[in-house]
């Protein structure tokens, strides 16, 4: 990991010194060792503040559509998929973005880690030690196998063909494990209705999920907050929250890479990944389309193909 | 006012007696997030947690019906909104959260512009504050004028080695103790000394951050580079404002039609683009950094200038809940060492972002017809 970090800093420094970009977007240390924080490096001498570890959770592609300068972005394979999707949608000027891609060991799911070791709020250190995540709280080192606390999507991640202008491959071993799903195999529509009624009941409509999502680039013009054509009402209840989340899920259908950024952004811990996986499964089935694979193919719901009509979809 | 001792074993009995007479809200663990919830008889609140969401919404409701209206042949009938006189107790509230209501009272109890709905809920509520016997890494109440054992609310209590020192601070609070006098015993000078010692220990364990005064911060208003650098990673969501116990911005929306409808007041966030958008589509705070500047200066400059206190209680929820781990303390400390550097990168102007708000778009005419002058 140290070697990987050193290469990353070196590359960032080089891009800034050669003035190929004016900023490198990566991760720096957060207030908590178990929470890295996005970092915009604008001076080559600050490149040493860049870090890379399994706590680098944010999908930094989210910043690209709004930037008005030449930027390099550091991506994990899942985030690189978001960059590809944004290029495919024409939301990024390709010549303005340099992608530094990392073949990573995987990312920690904070909810799983907290379930295993307790609150991370008072952690004084957190790191990957071989195949074990170590969290130090109050002088005690709590150890848990990485395989037990990684993001579900990490287990399925294929790093053979990672997109990037620069790919940093330090030969790290990718985490393997079993995805934990709370969805029973025979879940029917009634199960889902009850499940989301319970989960959305605590939604505070802060829109952190939306703002953390690279596919939600409408940002300030989100239909949910449009002044006219009000799709969601003023009342705060489960129904209105469901309307918002269902609407968002449909808007990102065929564009969502299921990176899980929305879920991790949620201050009240709503498992949004399940919603997006459900929609993603439908897109894969209906359109035989994998988001983030090809930069020259428009998302399926953005185009109409005659054969879709003829095949009865 | 009275100071008493409540044994840990009698806490449930006191709570049950309160639950029988009032709606009692207290910290409760929940899936995904802990919060203040109405408790039932026999239910022990999670006394040792700091809730993920603040108790703000118990008094300043997230969404509340202000009124409903109906046009009839005689004019317009206006019916007042939700009933707001229900007596309730917010139990186990931390000193920081308790303090937050005294701050929000300032604008909402303003005699020139009273907020009746808020005042109704506030007057019908009693706050039972539980002093902190430990601090989180995100706590900074001592830096903004508070304290982990600050005596605020109607009743103040502290866990001193397995029993509670309980003190009434108002008549309302005294009533809650007196009605259950049998559960309490007299407090000794030793008990009060123990509480004082614990409070000091906790306060000393918290790092102190220096904060520039209101005027010095206001002088940073035009330092665009400072605000841009501070904001570059901010996503402009509303998580910080919605978990903040003191953020009190709201929006008013009508639902229904011109004949019959309802008017709601709900939390809004200065971090949202729409919050700042004016009629006609102009937005004076079109960039993230201008919205961040508004949030920071409102809390640490404008509010103290107007009301005398910083509009932040140092609970640290904004730090814990931020999706990009933005740390408010970086702003507070960074503002003391402003360098006056050149402006850094900008966000795109909204017009450059290829996502027009169709609902407000004014299309140019398809064709320009020349009249040949004369007008």
Checking if the pLDDT of A84 tops 80, the result is yes
Task: For the beta carbon of residue A258, count every other beta carbon within 10 angstroms.
Answer: 21
Task: For the beta carbon of residue A23, count every other beta carbon within 10 angstroms.
Answer: 23
**What ipTM did this prediction achieve?**
0.91
CA dist., res. A170 & res. A298, Å (int): 33
Angle formed at CA B218 by CA B217 and CA B222, multiple of 5 degrees: 105
Q: For the ranges A58-67, B145-154, B215-224, B348-357, which has the lowest average pLDDT?
A: B348-357
Contacts of A81 (CB under 8 A, 6+ apart): A163, A257, A259, A291, A292, A293
Selected residue of B289, B325, B341 to mutate for chain A interface (largest A Cβ count, 10 A): B325
Q: In b/e form, how buried is each residue of A70-107, taking b as 16+ CB within 10 angstroms?
A: bbbbbbbbbbbbbbbbbbbbebbeeeebbbbbbbbbbb
- Sorted by where each begins, the domain ranges of chain A are 1-107+156-176, 181-313
CB B314 within 8 A of CB B148: no
Selected residue of B322, B324, B329, B345 to mutate for chain A interface (largest A Cβ count, 10 A): B324
pLDDT for res B346: 47
CA distances from B265 to B62, B85, B97, B370 (A): 8, 18, 22, 48
| Count of pairs with CB atoms under 8 A, one residue in A, one in B | 155
Chain A interface includes B344 (CB < 8 A)? yes
pLDDT for res A310: 61
- pLDDT, tens digit (0-9, with 9 covering 90-100), for B79-92: 988 766 779 999 99
pLDDT for res A228: 61
Contact flag A220-B350 (C-beta cutoff 8 Å) = yes
- pLDDT, tens digit (0-9, with 9 covering 90-100), for A86-122: 999 999 988 999 999 999 999 999 989 999 998 888 8
Task: For the beta carbon of residue B335, count every other beta carbon within 10 angstroms.
Answer: 22
pLDDT for res A220: 66
Selected residue of A70, A71, A267, A271 to mutate for chain B interface (largest B Cβ count, 10 A): A267
Which residues on chain A are in Cβ contact (under 8 Å) with B273? 219-220
Chain B interface includes A265 (CB < 8 A)? yes
Q: Looking at chain B, which residue has its C-alpha nearest residue A265? A: B323
Tell which B residues from 60 to 119 touch A, by Cβ distance under 8 Å. 62-63
Contact flag A211-B273 (C-beta cutoff 8 Å) = no
- pLDDT, tens digit (0-9, with 9 covering 90-100), for A132-144: 999 999 889 999 9
- Sorted by where each begins, the domain ranges of chain B are 3-205, 214-348
**Chain B closest CA to A133's CA: distance in Å?**
20
């Amino acid at each position: 990991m140290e070697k990987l970090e050193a290469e990353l800093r070196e590359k960032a420094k080089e891009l800034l010194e050669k003035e190929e970009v004016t900023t490198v977007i990566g991760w720096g240390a957060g207030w908590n060792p178990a929470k890295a924080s996005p970092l915009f490096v604008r001076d080559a001498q600050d490149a040493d503040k860049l870090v890379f570890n399994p706590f680098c959770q944010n999908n930094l592609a989210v910043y690209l559509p709004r930037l008005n300068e030449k930027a390099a972005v550091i991506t994990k394979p899942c985030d690189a998929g978001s960059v590809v999707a944004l290029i495919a949608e024409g939301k990024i000027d390709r010549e303005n973005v340099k992608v530094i891609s990392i073949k990573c060991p995987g990312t920690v799911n904070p909810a799983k880690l907290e379930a295993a070791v307790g609150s991370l709020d008072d952690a004084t250190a957190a790191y990957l030690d071989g195949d074990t995540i170590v969290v130090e709280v109050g002088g005690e080192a709590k150890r848990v196998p990485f395989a037990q606390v990684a993001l579900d999507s990490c287990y399925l991640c294929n790093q053979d063909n990672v997109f990037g202008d620069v790919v940093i491959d330090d030969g790290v071993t990718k985490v393997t494990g079993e995805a934990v799903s709370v969805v029973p195999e025979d879940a029917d529509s009634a199960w889902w209705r009850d499940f989301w009624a319970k989960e959305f009941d605590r939604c505070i409509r802060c829109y952190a999920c939306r703002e953390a999502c690279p596919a939600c680039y409408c940002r300030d013009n989100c239909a949910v907050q449009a002044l006219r054509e009000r799709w969601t009402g003023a009342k705060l209840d489960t129904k209105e929250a469901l309307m918002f989340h269902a609407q968002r899920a449909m808007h990102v259908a065929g564009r969502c890479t299921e990176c899980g950024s929305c879920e991790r952004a949620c201050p009240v811990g709503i498992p949004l990944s399940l919603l997006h996986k459900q929609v993603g499964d439908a897109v894969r089935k209906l359109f035989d389309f994998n988001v983030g694979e090809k930069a020259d193919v428009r998302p399926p719901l953005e185009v109409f193909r005659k054969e879709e009509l003829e095949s009865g979809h | 006012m009275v100071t008493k001792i409540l044994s840990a074993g009698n806490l449930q009995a006191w709570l049950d007696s309160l639950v029988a007479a009032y709606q009692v809200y207290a910290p409760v663990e929940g899936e995904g997030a802990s919060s203040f919830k109405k408790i039932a008889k026999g239910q022990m609140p999670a006394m040792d947690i700091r809730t993920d969401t603040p108790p703000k919404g118990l008094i300043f409701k997230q969404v509340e019906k202000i009124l409903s209206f109906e046009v009839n042949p005689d004019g317009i009938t206006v019916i007042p909104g939700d009933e707001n006189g229900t007596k309730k107790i917010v139990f186990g509230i931390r000193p920081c959260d308790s303090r937050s209501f005294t701050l929000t009272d300032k604008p909402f109890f303003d005699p020139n512009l009273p907020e009746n709905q808020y005042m109704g809920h506030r007057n019908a509520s009693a706050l039972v504050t539980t002093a902190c016997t430990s601090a989180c890494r995100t706590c900074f109440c001592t830096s903004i004028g508070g304290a982990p054992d600050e005596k605020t609310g109607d009743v103040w209590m502290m866990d001193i080695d397995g029993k509670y020192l309980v003190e009434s601070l108002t008549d309302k609070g005294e009533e809650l103790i007196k009605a259950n006098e049998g559960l309490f015993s007299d407090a000794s000078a030793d008990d009060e000394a123990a509480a004082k010692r614990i409070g000091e220990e906790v306060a000393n364990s918290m790092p102190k951050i220096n904060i520039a005064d209101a005027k010095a911060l206001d002088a940073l208003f035009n330092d665009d580079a400072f605000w841009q650098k501070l904001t570059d990673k901010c996503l402009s969501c509303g998580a910080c404002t919605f978990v903040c116990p003191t953020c009190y911005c709201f929006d008013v929306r009508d639902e229904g039609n011109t004949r019959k409808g309802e008017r709601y007041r709900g939390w809004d966030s200065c971090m949202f683009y729409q919050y700042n958008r004016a009629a006609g589509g102009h937005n004076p705070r079109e960039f993230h950094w201008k919205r961040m500047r508004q949030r920071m200066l409102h809390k640490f400059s404008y509010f103290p200038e107007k009301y005398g206190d910083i509009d932040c209680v140092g609970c640290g929820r904004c730090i814990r809940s931020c999706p990009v781990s933005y740390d408010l303390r970086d702003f507070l400390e960074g503002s003391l060492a402003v360098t006056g550097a050149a402006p850094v990168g900008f966000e795109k102007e909204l017009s450059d972002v290829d996502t027009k708000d169709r609902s407000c778009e004014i299309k140019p005419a398809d064709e320009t017809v020349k009249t040949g002058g004369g007008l």
